[in-house]
Structure 1
Amino acid sequence: MLEEIIIPNTITVHLGRPDSPAENLTVDFLYYVKNVASSEIFPTWPYEALKANIWAQMSLVLNRVYTEWYRGRGYPFDITNSTAYDQAFVKGRVIYDTISEVADEVIGQFLQKPYYREPFYAEYCDGRIASCPGLKQWGTLDLANRGNSAIEIIRYYYGESMQLHDTDNVQDITPSYPGYPIRLGAQGQYVFIIQELLNGIAVNYPNIPLIYPPDAIFGSLTESAVITFQKQFNLAADGIVGPATWNQISRIYVAVRKLAELGSLGRLEGYFTGLFTGKVLRRGDVGIEVQQLQYFLSIVADAYPSIPAVQVDSRFGSGLERSIKAFQQEFGIPSDGLVGAVTWNLIYETYAALIQNA
């Protein structure tokens, strides 16, 4: 999985289903977008319908690139032209002028959910022959003819919170793996990434020990988490993150967080920085946000006897709810056991002050 959203200079398309013995064709990315749009929608459609469809098409392929969906599985390509898996692409096809003009205008623009780092997996279908829970291409024609703008069409299908972003970060696609194994004693960004992803995976695989706080230092706890992960997924359990382990960590994280699905749980923006993710947490919730909340509050509870101790286990149970209510009472805010922006920010600010003064 990449660390930034890029617009690739070129993209390699497999002209068939993933495991078929088909040609791999490397083409200019802008040409790829124009080809897909010319293969899937009609050039006579209204401008707003064309734009909405191209945004969805571009977001889907950028999600494939970001998640290294095929490269991380060892395939020598970035996407297929099988509509059962990806989107249509026809070798040598004619590109329509109206579609080309819209693609030139919107290249670099993509859809993204608030607080999520990955391009949105904008699932879509034609809406006539095939049905799906996402955008319906023929439906976009009807909505545009009713006077809806492209962003209104997008939000009709994907929700009012959907955001449009753009980037001028154009570069070649390079693997996320750093090119050398990471092991006990290592420090830096790649170690932090390993810790982040393993903590996310541990929500679904609680036998993997949580690494708190994630500190970019490959210590014994990180090594233990790596070994447990390797055993869980039948890899050589040596505690070293080589290419096989790196790619498997990335693949499993993408799977458990559903990053390549319409209902993505998201790779959270500002992981472990104290940034409120916009989600109100409550009893019954499970996830990375709960992990972070528990850790911040556990440090606060150590300093305030009125707040019950907190266990970091990714699950918002009755014990955490009691600790939240005690914190809210201690700091004079409504004691409802819910963690919205006010409670979250106050917990983090208190934690940060304690750490700074330690």
Structure 2
Amino acid sequence: MAVSVVPYVPSTITVHLGPPDQWAENVTVSFPDYVKNVASSEIYPTWEPAAIEANVLAIISFALNRVYTEFYPSRGYDFQITSSTAYDQKFIRGHNIFENISQVVDEIFNDYIRRKGFVEPLAAKFCNGTTVTCAGLSQWGSQDLAQQGYSAMEILRYYYGNDIELVQDAPVRSPGQSYPGTPLRLGSKGDDVLVLKTMINRVSQSYPAIPKLFPVTNVFDESTEQAVKTFQQIFNLTPDGIVGKATWYKLVYLYVGTNQLSELVSMGQQFQTFSFQYPGILRQGDRGSDVRILQYMLALTAEFNESLTPIQVDGIYGNATAQAVRKYQAQAGLQVDGIVGPNTWYSLYNNYTGIERDLRNDNINFPLSQTASAQTGGKTYGTTSRQGQFPGGGLQLGNTDFKGVKLV
């Protein structure tokens, strides 16, 4: 089973009219009106259309990132974004809205940019580029590029990198919270439990005292309860093993932080979280996410067993997959029929989890850094989820890590 993670555009957004830690009024406005206000406060209506569109997309994406990551609610605040440019974007209640900016926003308010392969809207930070400079988009610089003939996406790629893409017509719905609404406890089942386990496993990379959860299923079992209790003890929450609102949002806060989802250098939220529960019999001709999980386990196992056949993960149970299953069944002493019943699935899963446990990667990507500096000689380096863990041997010139990251 696979649970898709799809960001949405909120119909409204609540803005705190000041810095987050100071008292100020909260105002709730429609999301398009919010974007129009910020754009009319940040840029000029006389700019080139491409520059206006690029800035509007950056404004939308940054705001949606704040909503998607629950940046402020996970910190205990009752708003989604502030009007302070030290933290967020300039919002001035009652500000005059420019007509041409309003028209642009009406056309693209539910479009946003993200990094390819990532779910979360890009935390598209920006500055004016004259009195203030930053790692993101330069507003005046975008106007210069537009005057040179750059399109809106070319401007955005100039500042944020070539690995961004445009998402169009994102769903619009009433704003909500990720908290399931009722506490999760021993015996709970469903997609919320799957999300909970995913967050625990990622946070445990930085806090290794928290037990990792295998398998990642949608059942709140005793091992999940123990992991929750350990998490609660570490963060001074009531260690009852029950995931109420306080525990849930502490996990959200740490998950967003460890993955840097609210930063330009985000490690990225992937499109699906997988459950390794037995899905029922799989055989040649089947298609879908369950076949992908099967193929992924087969492929990873084959990487460490030369007698097995490497396989493409495409979600299609064709001849190659059936042959790979037969080879595995023969080696494991199972009935050789190319059909994946419970015995084949759990045998394969036990092999897979042993490899996963050794690799300690928990399906976390190892993306290349998006920036380089003079101190690194202009080279880029990867980030690894194995934070603070000795790799088991010395590192030297020529060593490589996952995804081709090379020490130079």
TM-score range, shorter chain: 0.7 to 0.9
Which residue of structure 2 lines up, in the alignment, with residue 108 of structure 1?
110
User: Aligned-pair distance for 1:152?
Assistant: 0.5
User: Aligned-pair distance for 1:272?
Assistant: 3.5
User: Aligned-pair distance for 1:161?
Assistant: 0.8
Q: Judge conservation of contact 2:117–2:270 (CA < 8 Å) in 1.
A: yes
Structure 2 CA distance for aligned equivalents of residues 243 and 296 of structure 1: 39
Which residue of structure 1 lines up, in the alignment, with residue 46 of structure 2?
44
Structure 2 CA distance for aligned equivalents of residues 337 and 141 of structure 1: 41
Structure 1 CA distance for aligned equivalents of residues 9 and 42 of structure 2: 21
Q: TM-score, normalised by structure 2?
A: 0.69
Structure 2 CA distance for aligned equivalents of residues 141 and 130 of structure 1: 16
Q: Deviations over 1:305-325 (max 9, x none)?
A: 9x99632533498779xxxxx
Q: Deviations over 1:168-189 (max 9, x none)?
A: 4111111111111101111110
Residue 215 of structure 2 aligns with an amino acid whose one-letter code is P
Structure 2 CA distance for aligned equivalents of residues 295 and 176 of structure 1: 33
Structure 2 CA distance for aligned equivalents of residues 230 and 318 of structure 1: 28
In terms of mean alpha carbon deviation, does 66-75 or 86-95 score higher?
A: 66-75
Q: Judge conservation of contact 2:216–2:275 (CA < 8 Å) in 1.
A: no
Matched, 1:29 2:31: yes
Classify 1:338/1:20 alpha carbon distance in 2 versus 1 (closer, same or farther; 3 Å).
Answer: closer
Paired positions, count: 306
Identity %: 44
In terms of mean alpha carbon deviation, does 163-172 or 147-156 score higher?
A: 163-172
Matched, 1:95 2:92: no
Classify 1:223/1:95 alpha carbon distance in 2 versus 1 (closer, same or farther; 3 Å).
Answer: same
Structure 1 CA distance for aligned equivalents of residues 263 and 107 of structure 2: 27
Secondary structure in structure 1 of the residue aligned to 2:240: coil
Q: Which structure 2 residue ranges, 5 or more long, are not aligned?
A: 277-295, 306-327, 333-350, 362-385, 394-398
Which residue of structure 1 lines up, in the alignment, with residue 246 of structure 2?
244
Residue 92 of structure 2 aligns with an amino acid whose one-letter code is V
Structure 2 CA distance for aligned equivalents of residues 197 and 137 of structure 1: 36
Q: 1:313 aligns with which of 350, 360, 363?
A: 360
Q: TM-score, normalised by structure 1?
A: 0.79
Q: 1:173 aligns with which of 164, 172, 175?
A: 175
Which residue of structure 1 lines up, in the alignment, with residue 375 of structure 2?
none
Which residue of structure 1 lines up, in the alignment, with residue 165 of structure 2?
163
Q: Judge conservation of contact 2:115–2:165 (CA < 8 Å) in 1.
A: yes
Classify 1:48/1:164 alpha carbon distance in 2 versus 1 (closer, same or farther; 3 Å).
Answer: same
User: Aligned-pair distance for 1:236?
Assistant: 0.9
CA RMSD of aligned residues (A): 2.9
Q: Judge conservation of contact 2:52–2:101 (CA < 8 Å) in 1.
A: yes
Classify 1:296/1:74 alpha carbon distance in 2 versus 1 (closer, same or farther; 3 Å).
Answer: farther
Structure 1 CA distance for aligned equivalents of residues 44 and 65 of structure 2: 24
Structure 2 CA distance for aligned equivalents of residues 273 and 167 of structure 1: 29
Structure 1 CA distance for aligned equivalents of residues 230 and 6 of structure 2: 28
In terms of mean alpha carbon deviation, does 251-260 or 113-122 score higher?
A: 113-122
Which residue of structure 1 lines up, in the alignment, with residue 135 of structure 2?
133
Which residue of structure 1 lines up, in the alignment, with residue 144 of structure 2?
142
User: Aligned-pair distance for 1:4?
Assistant: 3.2
Q: Judge conservation of contact 2:195–2:273 (CA < 8 Å) in 1.
A: no
User: Aligned-pair distance for 1:337?
Assistant: 8.1
Q: Which has the larger radius of gyration?
A: 2
Q: Judge conservation of contact 1:191–1:218 (CA < 8 Å) in 2.
A: yes
Structure 1 CA distance for aligned equivalents of residues 18 and 79 of structure 2: 11
Secondary structure in structure 2 of the residue aligned to 1:271: strand
In terms of mean alpha carbon deviation, does 308-317 or 242-251 score higher?
A: 308-317
Q: Which structure 1 residue ranges, 5 or more long, are not aligned?
A: 275-292, 321-335, 342-358
